[in-house]
Amino acid sequence: MWGGRFAAGPSDVMRAINASIPFDKALWRQDIAGSLAHVAMLGRQQIISAADAEIITAGLNQIGAEYAEHGVAEDWALEDIHMHVEARLAELIGPVAGRLHTARSRNDQVATDFRLWVRDACDAADAALHALQTALVARAEEHVASIMPGFTHLQIAQPVTLGHHLLAYFEMFARDRDRFASARARLNQCPLGSAALAGTGFPIDRDATAAALGFDGPTANSLDAVSDRDFAIDYLSAAAQTALHLSRLAEEFIIWASQPYGFVRLPDSFSTGSSIMPQKRNPDAAELVRGHAGRIVGCQTALMITMKGLPLAYSKDMQDDKPPVFEAEGLLMLSLAAMTGMVADTGFDTTAMRKATERGFATATDLADWLVRQADIPFREAHHITGAVVRLAEDKGVALDALALADLQAIDARITDAVYGALSVDASVASRTSYGGTAPDQVRLQIERARTYLSERTTAAGETL
C-alpha cells in the first residue's frame, strides 16, 4: 500500500509486530459500513463518478457477503482489516477500487469503525443488564418477606428481607446502565472525513456520512477525532464498574453456597463437581465472574496506559486499543449471562436464612430502640442495657426473645412484657418502613418502581426491550 517509497519489503518481524488483522478483523462489518457510507457520499458530491461509486458499492457488498459466509482470511502482509477489504475490492473490481480511499485515511477510518463497534457493545451490555435486572426483580418478588440476616463486616447485623437484598443489586445495575448510556451518547459523533489528521481539501459532506452511520453529527476537530480513544476507555470504565458489581453478587452466592451458610443451592447448570471429592458442588461460574472482574479492570488499565502521554495526532501505539476492549467485552457479556442464569435458577433456603437470623441476636437494635421509645431511655444508655441482655443470652445460649422476663427485668426494671413484640425477626423487619427500608411493604413499593423502570426504559437507540 505504501510501496512507492520503499525499496525492500518489511522483515518478518516487522510484519508480525505490525499486523493487527488477527484481532481487528472483528471490525469487518463496521469497516464495510463505513466504506459504503463514504463511497455513497463521494458519488453524491461528484468527487468520484456515479458509475464508479456504484461499482465500488457492489464490490463492498460482495465482500460483506463473503466475510459473513467464510470469515476473513488473514494475510499479515495486508496489516489490518482496512487493507484486507481494499485488497479484496481491487481483486474484484480492478483499479477503480483505488478511488475508495479518496478523501479519507485509515486514521479516520479506524476511529469510525471502532466507535461503531463500541456503540454496539454499549447496547449489548445494556440489553444484558436489562435481562439481569428482570431476573433480580422476579426473585425479589418471590422473597418480599423472606427473612435473612443483614450483615455488616460480614457479622450478622439486623434482619432484612431477601427481596430487599436482591433489589440492592437492581439499583447498582441501573446505575451501570446509565454509565453505558452516557458513554454511548458521548461517543456518537463521526470521525469520518477527518482524514489523516488535518481534514481534507475534497468537498466532502461529513453530515451525510455521519447520518448514514447513525451518528448524531460529525466530530468537530480532526486532530482530536483521529487520536483520542476516550470513548473506548469510557466503555471499559462502565464495563469495569459493572464487573465490580457482578463480582460482589458472585461473592454473595459463593458465601451463601458454602455449607456453614447453606443459604442457597446453586443450580446444576452453574456448578461443577470435584474430580476427587464426590460431595463437592463448586460455585465455579460465580468464582469466574469474580475472577473476570480483575481481568476487565486490567483491560481498562491497559488502554489508559497505552494512551497516556501520546502526543497528537495518531500514533501506532493506538492500534493496541482494540484487544483490551474486545477481551473485556467478551468477559463482561459472559459474566452477565452467567449471573443472570444463577439469579434466575438458584434455590434459596429461606428456612436456613431465617435460622441464621435468629441465631445472631439480630434484633438487638430493636431492643435498644424499644427502650428508647417505650421507656424514654436515651439511646446510649439503651445500647448499654441491650449489651448486657445480649451477654446474658449468649451465656445461656438462647435467642433474645427466649430470655425470661424476670431475667430481663433483673438487668433493667423498666423492661415489660411488651418488649417481646419487638424482639422477633418478623417484627423487626416489618418495623423498618422508612423509604428504601427493608419492610416488606417498602420492598413491594420498590418492586413496583422497578417494574415501571423495566417497562419504560428504552435502549439508547430508542427501542423498547
DSSP assignment of 290-359: HHHHHHHHHHHHHHHHHHTTPPSS--GGGGGGHHHHHHHHHHHHHHHHHHHHHHHHPEE-HHHHHHHHHH
Q: Which is nearer to ligand ARG, 107 or 442 (CB)?
A: 107
Q: Which is nearer to ligand ARG, 326 or 420 (CB)?
A: 326
For ligand ARG, the binding residues in 19-78 under the rule CB under 6 A are 20, 24
Catalytic status, residue 274: yes
135 binds ligand ARG per the rule CB under 6 A = no
| Among 35, 107, 133, 188, interactor with ligand ARG by CB under 6 A | 107
229 binds ligand ARG per the rule CB under 6 A = no
What's CA 75's distance to the chain center, in Å? 34
318 binds ligand ARG per the rule CB under 6 A = yes
What's CA 422's distance to the chain center, in Å? 41
Q: Which of 54, 69, 63, 66 is nearest to 82 (CA)?
A: 63
- Minimum Å gap between C-beta 316 and ligand ARG is 6
How far apart, in whole angstroms, are the C-alpha atoms of residue 399 and residue 418? 17
| Among 319, 335, 438, 442, interactor with ligand ARG by CB under 6 A | 319
314 binds ligand ARG per the rule CB under 6 A = yes
State whether the Cα torsion 16-91-190-462 is positive or negative. Answer: negative
- In terms of C-beta distances under 8 Å and separation of at least 24 residues, what long-range contacts does 371-375 make, across chains too? 371/412, 371/414, 371/415, 374/416, 374/418, 374/419, 375/412, 375/414, 375/415
Q: Which of 49, 269, 274, 315 is catalytic?
A: 274
- Minimum Å gap between C-beta 239 and ligand ARG is 20
Q: Which is nearer to ligand ARG, 108 or 176 (CB)?
A: 108
Tell me which stretch binds ligand ARG (CB under 6 A): 103-111, 353-361, 366-374, 426-434: 103-111
110 binds ligand ARG per the rule CB under 6 A = yes
118 binds ligand ARG per the rule CB under 6 A = no
Catalytic status, residue 292: no
- Minimum Å gap between C-beta 329 and ligand ARG is 17
- Minimum Å gap between C-beta 18 and ligand ARG is 8
106 binds ligand ARG per the rule CB under 6 A = yes
- Minimum Å gap between C-beta 307 and ligand ARG is 12
- Minimum Å gap between C-beta 325 and ligand ARG is 12
The contacts of residue 183 (CB under 8 Å, 6+ apart) are: 118, 122, 231, 234, 235, 237, 238
The contacts of residue 132 (CB under 8 Å, 6+ apart) are: 173, 336, 339, 340, 343
Residue 258's alpha-carbon distances to 58, 249, 251, 271, 283, in angstroms, are 60, 15, 11, 12, 9
176 binds ligand ARG per the rule CB under 6 A = no
Binding-site ranges for ligand ARG (CB under 6 A): 20, 24, 80, 106-107, 110, 314, 316, 318-319
Q: Which residues are catalytic?
A: 153, 274
